[in-house]
Structure 1
Amino acid sequence: MKTQGHFRFSIPALALLSVIPGQTLAAGALKGRVLDADTGRGVSRVAVSAFMHGRSTAIVSRGESDGSYLLADLPAGRYAVCLPAGETYRPVCVPDVEVPADGTTVLNLKVTRSLLIDGDSWVQPYPSFAQSFVTTGLGITTVGVKGFGPGRRVTIQVLGGEGTAGQKIGPPRTTAPVGGEGSEQVCWSGGEVPTRPGQVLTLQMSAQPGEKWVPGLAGRGDVYAGGSAWFHDSPRPDSDLGVMICEDNGGLRTDYAVGGGWRTWRVRAVGQTFTALSRSITFASAVLSGVYGPPVYVRFSIHENGPGGRQIGPSKVVAVGEDAAVAWGPDEVPVESGKTYYLHIESLGGDVLLAAVQAGSYAGGRAFFDAVAADDWELCAVVAGEITDADFARLVGRNGDAVEILNPSFESEMEGWKLDGPCGAAVRCDGGVAPMWGARMFGWTNADKGEGSRSFVYQPIRVEKGRRYRFSGSVYTDHEGGRSSDVKVRLTVLPAGGTQWRDNEYIETSQWYATEGQWRRGSVEFAAAADVVTVGFELEQRWNLLSSSLYVDGAYLECVGAR
């Protein structure tokens, strides 16, 4: 049934809550906007799904044209919220959102990608094209291309370095036919094309043998400073191809991803084995459709090893669709990186459904159709979860030796941290902002209050006197009214320890960051003047604005130099 713009999937066998006769459940609401993180514009008509922790049933809202959405009449509790990947962005999953009784939680969901070049022009056909770029994450997960003219299947291979002579990295992927000003994507798991931030790579995009194809190009020419195009093997430094690239460069790690399927399989149950990269699976999606009759509902679940393996955590139920997606809480599906697991998708009523598949291209697992192994096929699906501590260090570190910070992402609230100042607390989603790492962050959102607030959240860390260190963290600010500099954050270190953070004589700092509604990484390097140093974040709100938001997350300390 449809109520106030959202859909509640009512499955009697999987009731959302058990209700005691005569008891009235206090209900809350979840609302916000789906926004493009780069432009700040709303993303229209996106399906936002909420799954209560420990329960199975989805509540889904199809957003409005301005990106706004509303999930009303939610029983109070904690939810995992997600939206599937789109043509130009990664999936989004916020695994821990609290909805209060008789209240409304605001959550703005921001979609991202590593690189997007608009392919609004074209060129004569060639057998192959290439585009170099600079990486930002730990692995390439999606590449999208635009094509003109007749549809052609395009094979995409990642190469090391600048140009078409580099060594192949990871397996190739082949798109569905792309042409007629349309776009197609291919996907990899986060470990198939491993990268590191700042690496120069090249995408080689080739038509099938004996064919040529026409890609989209940036009509304004050289619009991307980090790379350039090749037409066949000829460098074209004044051109850039129209491409979209996604990477594992945040808190969501891609355990498995295969897309671009152009075949479907009739099944009642389908699944895929994969090798985990995350520490806890929080998101899964698949390309599904019904055959006939009323909507088909399916149950997603994660199991050890393969079909028949022990189920980990609860099942999640959603209607079939090209963007069927589910989410789990941060502790519901714990996994171990490097081990084999199984994504199982099963029709609830025994109805037949169509599952998109692709010819075998993933070395870490295989598909199963009605529990029968299909060695030559992979399920078109995505499985992702929370980044491990080791991968977090690889992503934000600079090859130094990590130094332990207690509770670096405020997951245990304020344990290990001290606060000097009038504002700030360890919070989950707050003021419409989702944490960058894990389920919590530190900071505040004030509305028409808080003028002159300045807080320092810090902790002392034991180090080696005389060595050089780098302290980094994720920072976020936003505001309504005033100027960007009216809300700002910086990283502050006292190399000799202590708490004199207001005295410039005792501190080393980063710049002041005013990030205008985006999470950014900041850092400061220093030489330790004592065996114990103080590291922390300084947050300052200057005026009473309509809204002032300041948050920090993901602290990291590493030794980067000798005495």
Structure 2
Amino acid sequence: MPFYNRVLPIFAALVVVTCTSASADSTIAVRTAGCCSNTAPEQASVCFIGSNGSAPVIAVKTENGFGKLQAALGSYLVSIADAGRAVPYVVGPITVDGKQAVSVDLPARWLYEADGMVEGPMFTEQGQTFVATAGELDRVSLKASPGTYNIIVRKDGPAGVQVGSQATLSIGDTGWGTAQWKPGDVALETGQAYYIGIKSTSAKEYRVFLHSTGDIYPGGCAYFGGVPEPGSDLCLLISLQSDDAIRSPVLYTMNDGGWVLHTNGVYFQARSSNVRAICTRMKLKDAPKSMDAVVRVSRLEMSGSLTRIGKDKVCKCIASADGDHIVTALYGADEIPVEPGKTYFAEIIPKGEGLPQDAAKAPKRDLLVSIYGEKTPGMTPTIAAMRVIGAERTSVKVSWQGSKDCGVKISYGLTPYTLANVIDVPKGTQEADIHPISPGLTFYFKLTASTEAGGVFETPVYVTRTLDINSKPVADPPLPHVPEAGLTPLAVMDRMIQPPLPQVISVADVALANSGFEDGLTGWEVNGSRIAVSSAAHSGKSALGWDLSFSGAVDKSAGTDIISRKVKVTPGKLYMLSAYIYTDHQGGTSPDLFVRLICDPKGGTDFIGHNSTQDFRTGGRWLRFAKLWKAESDTITVGAAFSRSISSGKMLALVDDVRLEEVREPKPAWWKIGK
């Protein structure tokens, strides 16, 4: 079973920066981070920098989500335009004053994000629930078997009322596909639960991918064949549209994908009060290797004539892997005012060697355009140039640059996942002390800015440290590497953390002799040749599973071993099987190593489909997993399965502290969100 280190191997981010230039030079540093994992995109991203008006836009390639470039003094707009085309942030203006490098840290704008994916089960229909945090669904991206899928959104669950129209998603060899709805098609109620159903058009079973530690996202769960699996979440990225990034519909599109063919621009009907971003994919036959594009906006008058609005934007085109040219134009909040309901024309004019200078003579091109604006002009807050400017034994001072008319909250804690302490920073203030904390303490924090109009911007999670008791810096262990001096390190967040357990009411424990394997294999049936007792235990002295070492050539043979036992229970009662699981792989060529919990509620040896949890991979941590089953006989079979698709290096896959409980669910069931 292949393992994928990050959720977005194909979604390289494009970081887009627009500036108003001045006279001196300085440096602007841009970092992109996953919305949940806090880690950089795997593929190189691209930064754009240019002036408002007609000055050319510069493109700078980045490595590991970081780009550094020299820029004149002035005001900048910054955005992400990733290949998955999530709704973009447009933040700014930010100011480069020549005194120090200015950093901009931008998270991807996806509602869900997995890390360390594992293969899921095979069904003809699968799905995912989520709780809406904004008023409209824009698009989803799915990792699954190659094929074509119909996507339907429903309230509550698979039997709920359909919301909006059906969308189609195609997945090729990359394993990723994106479906986008027309603007306004899928209206959501904030706080309401929705179900995204995914059905193959071939009516054949297909495989999805799941987060490696199961139920990592609050407020949703996977559905396999219409049956909820509260311990798992699909690798389904969800992009919602909020009032600070409203997408306007492009008119006269030629296909469901939204392309306008053989044209020089697109008409759109404004839904916002301004235009902040025009994101374009352009197909142009025989396009030069290096090409710019001029983007201009006009208002369609009653007479049929066009009246120009604002200045032309000159944007550097970036060639994508599939040969399209990506163009992103950014605008200040007051630069392109539009009136909701009115029609406008966005012209995208290619410029380059061999292309005519006269825009009217430019060759026709195919355009896929997304146009975003704000409900209230200027509602999007800004946080940039976030720095630790002072450290004491019990406090750290931070400063930032951004919107002075918005409130800022600093959330901090001892892990990057639990930022429970909050500091409210008054409007107009752009520095604050984080305290009280202990000497030599490593802690984590993030900043959230919000405007009265409802705009919100949240930074990635940072990590820093106080001075020791002698007011000296603590160097060991070192903080995460930063690509540029002066930047605050981003927290390492791989999302392989303890998932939530089922919220059930325990009735009674079912006796399981030797549940911690202190007596070796006593009481357990083993099906496999490599199961053994290991001293690397969660508690006590022993755990059970694989403790393997391979040297020399890689053993490409797959393997699965099972431990199980039969247990007397009461038919019709609900039981929860839980255990601590540990996996780690050191050396070799592949981390394809997994453990899953199993239960045949009829007392047999059927351990596939709904009789198994998903595969889990814990990244060198002991994590507790659980699953509910209803007994269908007076005897059930419980246990764990260990699997690998390749054998190399040192491989640990262990189970410890197995527990079986009779439980009952509260009403309504804990996984029925939104009720």
TM range (shorter): 0.5 to 0.7
Contact persistence 1:267–1:352 (CA under 8 A): no
Amino acid across the alignment from 1:30 = I
The Cα of 1:248 is off from its aligned counterpart by: 2.4
The Cα of 1:159 is off from its aligned counterpart by: 1.3
The Cα of 1:169 is off from its aligned counterpart by: 1.6
The Cα of 1:379 is off from its aligned counterpart by: 4.6
- Closer, same or farther in 2 for the Cα pair 1:113/1:184, shift >3 Å? same
Alpha-carbon separation, structure 1, partners of 2:51 and 2:411: 29
- Closer, same or farther in 2 for the Cα pair 1:264/1:143, shift >3 Å? closer
Contact persistence 2:53–2:313 (CA under 8 A): no
The Cα of 1:145 is off from its aligned counterpart by: 0.8
Question: Which residue of the partner structure matches residue 137 of structure 1?
Answer: 134
Q: Which of 388, 391, 408 is the equivalent residue of 2:376?
A: 388
Structure 2 alignment gaps of length 5 or more: 1-13, 321-325, 399-405, 427-442, 453-463, 474-485, 489-675
Amino acid across the alignment from 1:384 = Y
Alpha-carbon separation, structure 1, partners of 2:58 and 2:300: 30
- Closer, same or farther in 2 for the Cα pair 1:479/1:432, shift >3 Å? farther
Amino acid across the alignment from 2:389 = N
Question: Which residue of the partner structure matches residue 49 of structure 2?
Answer: 50
Alignment partner of 1:155: what SS? Answer: strand
Question: Which residue of the partner structure matches residue 274 of structure 1?
Answer: 269
Alpha-carbon separation, structure 1, partners of 2:343 and 2:393: 50
Amino acid across the alignment from 2:224 = F
Contact persistence 1:146–1:242 (CA under 8 A): yes
Alignment partner of 2:119: what SS? Answer: coil
The Cα of 1:63 is off from its aligned counterpart by: 1.4
The Cα of 1:155 is off from its aligned counterpart by: 1.9
RMSD: 4.9
Q: Tell me whether 1:331 sits opposite 2:334 in the alignment.
A: yes
Contact persistence 1:48–1:81 (CA under 8 A): no
- Closer, same or farther in 2 for the Cα pair 1:273/1:519, shift >3 Å? same
Once the two structures are overlaid, the 10-residue window that deviates more, 24-33 or 243-252, is 24-33
- Closer, same or farther in 2 for the Cα pair 1:284/1:123, shift >3 Å? same
Alpha-carbon separation, structure 1, partners of 2:294 and 2:348: 6
Question: Which residue of the partner structure matches residue 169 of structure 1?
Answer: 163
Output aligned runs, 1:503-514, within 5 Å: none
TM-score for the superposition, normalised by structure 2: 0.50
Amino acid across the alignment from 2:49 = A
Deviations 1:411-466 (A, max 9, x none): 9xxxxxxxxxxxxxxxx654338xxxxxxxxxxx63358998999xxxxxxxxxxx
Question: Which residue of the partner structure matches residue 446 of structure 1?
Answer: 389
Amino acid across the alignment from 1:432 = M
Q: Tell me whether 1:431 sits opposite 2:428 in the alignment.
A: no
The Cα of 1:245 is off from its aligned counterpart by: 0.4
Q: Tell me whether 1:345 sits opposite 2:279 in the alignment.
A: no
Alignment partner of 1:75: what SS? Answer: strand
Alignment partner of 2:276: what SS? Answer: strand
- Closer, same or farther in 2 for the Cα pair 1:268/1:380, shift >3 Å? closer
Question: Which residue of the partner structure matches residue 630 of structure 2?
Answer: none
Alignment partner of 1:113: what SS? Answer: coil
Question: Which residue of the partner structure matches residue 605 of structure 2?
Answer: none
Question: Which residue of the partner structure matches residue 31 of structure 1?
Answer: 29
Amino acid across the alignment from 1:159 = R
The Cα of 1:489 is off from its aligned counterpart by: 0.9
Alignment partner of 1:40: what SS? Answer: coil
- Closer, same or farther in 2 for the Cα pair 1:40/1:132, shift >3 Å? closer
The Cα of 1:298 is off from its aligned counterpart by: 1.4
Deviations 1:143-179 (A, max 9, x none): 011122xx3111212112x222222222222123x15
Alignment partner of 1:175: what SS? Answer: strand
Amino acid across the alignment from 2:159 = A
Contact persistence 1:54–1:332 (CA under 8 A): no
Contact persistence 1:85–1:92 (CA under 8 A): no
Question: Which residue of the partner structure matches residue 156 of structure 1?
Answer: 151
Amino acid across the alignment from 1:319 = K
Alpha-carbon separation, structure 2, partners of 1:90 and 1:198: 20
Q: Tell me whether 1:64 sits opposite 2:63 in the alignment.
A: yes
Contact persistence 1:475–1:519 (CA under 8 A): yes
Q: Tell me whether 1:516 sits opposite 2:445 in the alignment.
A: yes
Contact persistence 1:88–1:244 (CA under 8 A): no
Alignment partner of 1:230: what SS? Answer: strand
The Cα of 1:347 is off from its aligned counterpart by: 1.8
Alignment partner of 2:165: what SS? Answer: strand
Amino acid across the alignment from 2:348 = I
Alpha-carbon separation, structure 2, partners of 1:103 and 1:90: 31
Q: For this pair of structures, how many residues does the alignment match?
A: 405
Contact persistence 1:115–1:244 (CA under 8 A): yes
TM-score for the superposition, normalised by structure 1: 0.59
Q: Which of 311, 315, 327 is the equivalent residue of 1:314?
A: 311
The Cα of 1:477 is off from its aligned counterpart by: 5.0
Alpha-carbon separation, structure 2, partners of 1:518 and 1:259: 43
Q: Between Structure 1 and Structure 2, whose CA radius of gyration is higher?
A: 2
The Cα of 1:101 is off from its aligned counterpart by: 4.5
Alignment partner of 1:287: what SS? Answer: strand
Alignment partner of 2:120: what SS? Answer: coil
Alpha-carbon separation, structure 2, partners of 1:169 and 1:474: 35
Contact persistence 1:79–1:329 (CA under 8 A): no
Deviations 1:527-551 (A, max 9, x none): xxxxxxxxxxxxxx998899999xx
- Closer, same or farther in 2 for the Cα pair 1:491/1:41, shift >3 Å? same
Output aligned runs, 1:359-508, within 5 Å: 379-388=367-376, 429-432=383-386, 446-448=389-391, 475-476=409-410, 488-490=422-424
Question: Which residue of the partner structure matches residue 278 of structure 2?
Answer: 284
Alpha-carbon separation, structure 1, partners of 2:312 and 2:384: 28
Question: Which residue of the partner structure matches residue 458 of structure 2?
Answer: none
Question: Which residue of the partner structure matches residue 195 of structure 2?
Answer: 202
% identity of equivalent residues: 18
